[in-house]
Amino acid sequence: MIPVIISGGSGQRLWPLSREGFPKQFHRLASENSMFQDTVLRLSAEQYSRPIVVCNESHRFIIREQLAGMAMAAEAILLEPCARNTAPAITLAAMQVIARGCDEVMLVSPADHLVRDREAFDRTIAVAKVQAEQGNIVLLGVEPTHPETGFGYIQAERSDRPLQVPAAYAVKSFKEKPDFETAERWLASGEYLWNAGVFVFRASVYLEQIRHFAPEVYAACEKSLKNAEHDFEFVRVAPESFIKSPSISIDHAVMEKTNLAKVVTVASDWNDIGSWSALWKAGEQDSNCNVVSGDAMLHNTKNCLVYSQSRLVATVGLEDLVVVDTPDAVLVMNRDQAQDVKEIVTKLKQKLRPETLNHREVFRPWGSFDSIDSGDRFEVKNVVVKPGEKISKQRHNHRAEHWVVVSGTAEVTCDDKVFLLTENESTYIPIGAVHQLANPGLIPLVVIEIRSGSYLGDDDIHRIEEAVFDIAVGIERDSRQVRSDVADKEKRVAS
């Protein structure tokens, strides 16, 4: 089978941990791996080929980094220039499979699900694969354990009660997220399942259905993939074509209309960690039914989730609450209102607050930077540059910068000068100077950057084309000689 991992969405209900720039699937929530990494591992047994990943273009370096952290690689990483929901994402993946000259069964899975019982999951997929080989479009339905209002539901045409696990059933209907009373009624009926959002089908079968029921999606994806740019495993689909696709889920585009839909039941070990209350249920609870992550001190506290990333969090006399601390935001809420976090996110977006987009630490292809402190006319950042990487050549009109090397070796370009700095050495970048920071060494370069000036925003960055800059300032240097000095510098620092 060909695994297809859909890594989209921003996980708004897990704010402030999950943000658009670094959503929940890339966080370690229920194991030592991120949810994305756990999904890759779950779909890496010998019956699977290397995965195809579909993700937002801005997450490409996170995907590559997390795959590399497991010494694994993707068959292809399809980069969406904008979010268009699951139907276009899955259509791109199916077209990529056909383009490879095969029509194997595809297993499409979100990147942010928790499945602890791998053997039960594999048995379920084996049943689904048989159904897919017979020409059906199969989705997984989870046996519900409580009246959940945060999931969509599938009504199965059952001939037995309760439903057998795993077993295949025809789909009678799809239901949107219900209110609590309706969810209670569906749970009591025994014929409804949670919609897990996991699909199994042949690529050609799915493409035939999407072309029939959603031709605009099919046409936009076909053209955007035909005109895509290929860069190693990255496939950058053409944005001008992809943006014309309707934004629609696979459920609305295909599953609610096709007569090929089957549902295969899966045990309730599944959890999509879609909210803080879901994480509380999935977590390891203490004797007072509390789930604690990070530095926390609890007294007379029951049935709470306390999550701390940056400092000591102390609670006294709390019950049924969620407390989440990140370096730049704190969330306190009643646990039974976990679905309403997205309302806070909506209000923050309306006010153009940056806390919905990125964490204080922001990741880039070359490394990361963390805003340590800021005030009137100054800002301090901790900058990490990966070995062999560099930040783009640029200048600023309103700020100067001081760089202090904490560890590693820095190759600094400042106007027509190129020089090396090592641990405890520093330099000054004047306003208007064309500059660049690179790491020619073998270990991460850590630099404290102090910005000062009348305006410190990141939009005061004027990037300079390398060739134009080199001609303008007439740089004549032997870069191989500069790099040869690195080893000597690092040896002296080590000694």
Q: Are residues 405 and 463 in the same domain?
A: yes
Q: Are residues 121 and 197 in the same domain?
A: yes
Does residue 352 sit within a domain? no
Characterize the bridge pairing of strands 153-157 and 168-175. Answer: antiparallel
High-pLDDT (> 70) share of the chain, %: 93
Give pTM, 2 decimals.
0.82
E strands along 366-434, which residues? 367-375, 378-385, 394-395, 399-407, 410-414, 417-421, 426-429
CATH number of the CATH domain containing 480: 2.60.120.10
d(CA 495, CA 492): 5
Dihedral sign for Cα atoms in the order 441, 445, 450, 454: positive
Q: Are residues 102 and 178 in the same domain?
A: yes
Q: Which residue in 89, 107, 104 sits closest to 199, CA to CA?
A: 107
Sequential DSSP letters for 278-339:
HHHHHS---TTS-EEESSEEEES-BS-EEEESSS-EEEES-BSEEEEEETTEEEEEEGGGGG
Dmax of the chain from CA atoms? 81
Q: Which whole number is the average pLDDT over 9-19?
A: 91
Q: Are residues 176 and 303 in the same domain?
A: no
> In sequence order, which ranges of 359-435 are alpha helices (DSSP H)?
none
pLDDT surpasses 60 at 474 = no
pLDDT surpasses 50 at 77 = yes
CATH number of the CATH domain containing 132: 3.90.550.10
Which domain, by its residues, includes 442? 361-494
Q: Are residues 154 and 283 in the same domain?
A: no
Q: Are residues 147 and 167 in the same domain?
A: yes
Question: Which of the listed ranges 59-73, 267-281, 301-315, 463-477 does the model predict with the highest average pLDDT?
Answer: 301-315
- The pLDDT mean for the chain works out to 89
Does residue 356 sit within a domain? no
Q: pLDDT tens digits for 393-447?
A: 999 999 999 999 999 999 999 999 999 999 999 999 999 999 999 999 999 999 9
Q: Which whole number is the average pLDDT over 98-121?
A: 90
Q: pLDDT tens digits for 255-271?
A: 999 999 999 998 767 88
